[in-house]
Structure 1
Amino acid sequence: MRLSQSPRRRPWILLAAGALGACGVAIAADPPTSYMPVVIKETFAAIKARMERDKPAVERRQRSLLEQRYDLSDQPVRGLRMSGGKPVQGGVRVRLPAGASWEQLAAMTPEQIRERDLFPAGFLPLPHPNHAEGGMVFPKFHIEALKRAEQRDLTRFDLDFDLPDHFLPDFPAPIYLTTRPDLGDVSKGQLVTINNYYELFNGVLNPKQLEGLRLLVTPFAQQQFNQTEDRRSALPSRGVACLDCHSNGHTVAATHLVGDIRPQPFRHRIDTPTLRGVNVQRLFGSQRALKTVEDFTEFEQRAAYFDGDPVIATKKGINILDRGHQVHAMGEFQAILDFPPAPKLDLFGKLKPSASDAQKRGQELFFGKAQCSACHAPPYYTDNSMHNLQVERFFKPQTINGRFAAMDGPIKTFPLRGIKDSPPYLHDGRLLTLEDTVEFFNVVLQTRLEPQEKDDLVAFLRAL
């Protein structure tokens, strides 16, 4: 059950007493359940009115958290743009604890940082814009573009996306194909939708790939966007398409909560990853470790769209895809989405002689002192594995806007090719810039990089 789906506004699952009692987390009196309610006790009009009334307070709380954690100002890097032309944000945006410096933190042990409560708040897990409610949330610019293109509205009446637009990826993002690198951006600067996919790709894709793309831009019922009384759209909704989150086969940084964790406070926020380069990947999902892109595609439709609850999916309109034809076609299109061009890299994924001195120094650090290559091996800068960073060494368990921050668990090694196109970073988007990311790993891996070394490492990452 969601907080919003019962007139008593009770949490939809009991927090485990043994895990949370010592941390000061309130424990509900209801028995635990893995399921959401099928029978809703309020009318849609009552739900909508209540959640609209609560929305300003929910958003103020999340905005306050972000402002406490980060410098949210618009500070693009001079002369640096994503492959589609959007300026890249620069600088360390995570705020330091009072009286601490990055150099001091890097020199301390995890135990010292934990006991003195010096782990920067921006390094802690990032909660969903309304963690107790959860669900898919899309940036405003994407919502408006879809309304113009399809007259389909992904606005939620209960909350809006939280991160400022300037920290998000290109929109609409370029599309590069492994099968036709000669074409460059095959999107021609357009957002690919059900209305223009055929015009753009007929004659470029084979019939199976074209059918896969059609399905990827077809909206299907989803937990928040459907035709039932417990939806979160003002009008009954046709639903959400795969390429709503993975816009143009890339990402708009839309957020959600993982469907495979209970109870609700333990569920992790998801920063939608790019689909570029899935042909070289062998694990799918930031923490699920699904083994093929077909598994991932089928899982999304059967479970992730409905918060991992197939019971509620039956009510809201689950779309069961045929594995041998439809799922395979969708996977085949995803598998030809390529990384953006990287003119400074050679055939082995290393820098060409034309790279700058700073980039070359950064490359040396990447494969040496910074230890990045232990997980991110060239040419695509992934090891197709999962690693547990054990970030919980640095902080005490705590509840942050409804998110119980304790352990992240294993996280997939995402490819770093084209990484400047894919902010924000880490699986939940808690790191807004590459500078933030370097500072995070410098503390977590205890590599003790000097300030100039950090700048050089960032310069190398931007060349990938």
Structure 2
Amino acid sequence: MKSRPRTQRILITLGITLCLGTVLIGAVKDDFDSLVKRLQQEKPTYAKRHQTLLVERYDLSDRPATGVAMSRGKPVQEGVRVKLPQGMTWDKLAAMSPEEIKEKNLWPAGFYPLPHPHHEAGGMVFPQPLIDETKRQTNRDLTRFDLDFDLPQHLLPEFPAPIFLTTRPDLGDVSQGQLVTLDNFNELFKEVLNPKQLEGLRLLVTPFPQAQFNATADRRSLRPHQGVSCFDCHANGHTNAATHTVGDIRPNEHRHRIDTPSLRGVNIQQLFGSQRALKTVEDFTEFEQRAAYFDGDPEQAQRKGVNILERGSQVHFMAEFQALLDFPPAPKLTILGELNTEKATASELRGEAIFSGKGLCVSCHTPPYYTDNLMHNLRAERFYKERMINGRKASADGPIKTFPLRGIKDSPPYLHDDRLMTLEDTVEFFNLVLELKLNEQEKQDLVAFMRTL
């Protein structure tokens, strides 16, 4: 048989290649469509499972405290929200030993680790106000087709949060009440920051590919995605309570839900990451981009589009801006971080005395910023038997970083995995964990003091 002319062979080969390419593209599309359909069908089941857990654990009602607000005026929620076992009281529980609480299975459900909204799936999940405002400003949609954020908005930080700068305290809120994004950062900050700092802020609001938000066919956004920015979670350099699961713990059932911490006061901190103990904010910024965005999986990162930041310039510029983020004003505190006796109420002054004395709080949270920049292991597992909770194994958490308490009323929910909804919950938790035996008045005074910080 005579061979075909070279030009004809090339055209046939090209045709076969194009056909195969069409088949492969179709297969990927079909695979993605099937993934979307399956996960959307599963979504109500997992949402119901998680909401049932939340209702069993907590009182999620909207009960604001009278006369107490966050920095821009959002009401602070009050009251203990963790539900007790039937027939139990906080005083009865506090009178028992850890061993007795464990043996009788009396550890409150809300004090167990809180799972991710769908712990087996994990990944970044954003509150609706952040999704809506980001889409309005930038046309970037942070909605996941497989799951939604879980906690009600009244139990979250105010949005958008104000931005206070260490370099320009005279300006107050430099965000002017806006969510800072790639759309408006330059206009808001061009007269306030130097060129390096402005470039650092630009990078912090620039979206980069992430495990769930990228252009591959195993993403969790309906359309191919630019990715997420640092300030999607740390909105306005603070927090909007967006969550995720930590990238450096395995197997998956042991991974912690992440409480997004505020970036306020980065300049006075010496450890970064709730358990990683990274030594600089530059280390943490680079870690987030290279590892945390992709669940600590380098292969996934390469496939989905990891953004390798240049340490000597880009990472440095980002860190330089983060170091300018200040705590909110605390008008009742002196320059040493203690209460001004002429401005504080009797309850707040009693609370400060408890904080520094019987409550043992000052052992870790030392003024003026109320952190010792160390890590501590609370060993809460003394109080309960290991168990599986919606895909999350409740076991030993290990050492956790001491986060600053300055501005703490602006940062609910609390603890490293969001398990505590209010400051009252945190007082009850530590009253048991530290075996303090605080009475009801002492608890109220302690909360009153922390609200002044």
* Unmatched 5+ stretches in structure 1: 1-38
Residue pairs, 1:359-438, within 5 angstroms:
359-438=348-427
- Check if 1:235 corresponds to 2:192: no
- How far is the alpha carbon of 1:40 from its aligned partner? 9.0
- Check if 1:318 corresponds to 2:306: yes
Partner in structure 2 of residue 43 of structure 1: 31
The secondary structure found in structure 1 opposite 2:451 is: helix
- Check if 1:447 corresponds to 2:432: no
For each residue in 1:337-359, what CA deviation from the matched residue of structure 2 results, as whole angstroms up to 9, or x when unmatched? 00000000001100001100000
Point out the structure with max Rg over C-alpha: 2
Aligned equivalent of 1:155, options 130, 143, 160: 143
Partner in structure 2 of residue 115 of structure 1: 103
For each residue in 1:178-225, what CA deviation from the matched residue of structure 2 results, as whole angstroms up to 9, or x when unmatched? 000000000000000001000000010011000000000000000000
For each residue in 1:158-181, what CA deviation from the matched residue of structure 2 results, as whole angstroms up to 9, or x when unmatched? 000001110000100000000000
- How far is the alpha carbon of 1:99 from its aligned partner? 1.2
Letter in 1 for 2:280: T
Residues 161, 238 of structure 2: 8 Å contact kept: yes
2 CA distance for matches of 1:169 and 1:420? 9
The secondary structure found in structure 2 opposite 1:329 is: helix
2 CA distance for matches of 1:78 and 1:381? 25
2 CA distance for matches of 1:291 and 1:83? 30
Residues 345, 351 of structure 1: 8 Å contact kept: yes
Letter in 2 for 1:417: R
Partner in structure 1 of residue 183 of structure 2: 195
Aligned equivalent of 2:333, options 342, 345, 355: 345
Residue pairs, 1:23-172, within 5 angstroms:
43-172=31-160
1 CA distance for matches of 2:181 and 2:452? 31
The alignment of Structure 1 onto Structure 2 pairs a total of residues equal to: 426
2 CA distance for matches of 1:40 and 1:369? 62
2 CA distance for matches of 1:234 and 1:423? 30
2 CA distance for matches of 1:410 and 1:71? 29
Aligned equivalent of 2:214, options 215, 222, 226: 226
- How far is the alpha carbon of 1:79 from its aligned partner? 1.2
Identity percentage over the alignment?
68
Residues 256, 270 of structure 1: 8 Å contact kept: yes
1 CA distance for matches of 2:445 and 2:73? 23
- How far is the alpha carbon of 1:84 from its aligned partner? 1.4
- How far is the alpha carbon of 1:386 from its aligned partner? 0.3
Q: CA distance change for structure 1 residues 186 and 41 in 2, over 3 Å: closer, same or farther? A: closer
- How far is the alpha carbon of 1:362 from its aligned partner? 0.1
Residues 29, 217 of structure 2: 8 Å contact kept: no
2 CA distance for matches of 1:199 and 1:142? 20
The secondary structure found in structure 1 opposite 2:437 is: coil
2 CA distance for matches of 1:282 and 1:383? 9
Letter in 2 for 1:71: D
Aligned equivalent of 1:261, options 249, 252, 267: 249
TM-score of the pair, normalised by structure 1: 0.91
2 CA distance for matches of 1:424 and 1:114? 25
Letter in 1 for 2:414: Y
Where do 4+ consecutive residues of structure 1 move more than 4 Å?
A: 39-42
Letter in 1 for 2:174: V
Letter in 2 for 1:438: V
The secondary structure found in structure 2 opposite 1:98 is: coil
Aligned equivalent of 1:335, options 323, 332, 345: 323
Letter in 1 for 2:431: N
Partner in structure 1 of residue 260 of structure 2: 272
The secondary structure found in structure 1 opposite 2:244 is: strand
Residues 40, 230 of structure 1: 8 Å contact kept: no
Partner in structure 1 of residue 448 of structure 2: 459
Partner in structure 1 of residue 12 of structure 2: none
* CA RMSD, 1 decimal: 1.1
Partner in structure 1 of residue 240 of structure 2: 252
The secondary structure found in structure 2 opposite 1:84 is: coil
Q: CA distance change for structure 1 residues 435 and 347 in 2, over 3 Å: closer, same or farther? A: same
Partner in structure 2 of residue 28 of structure 1: none
Letter in 2 for 1:389: L
The secondary structure found in structure 2 opposite 1:88 is: strand
Letter in 2 for 1:129: P
The secondary structure found in structure 2 opposite 1:257 is: coil
Residues 371, 402 of structure 2: 8 Å contact kept: yes
Letter in 1 for 2:149: F
Letter in 2 for 1:234: L
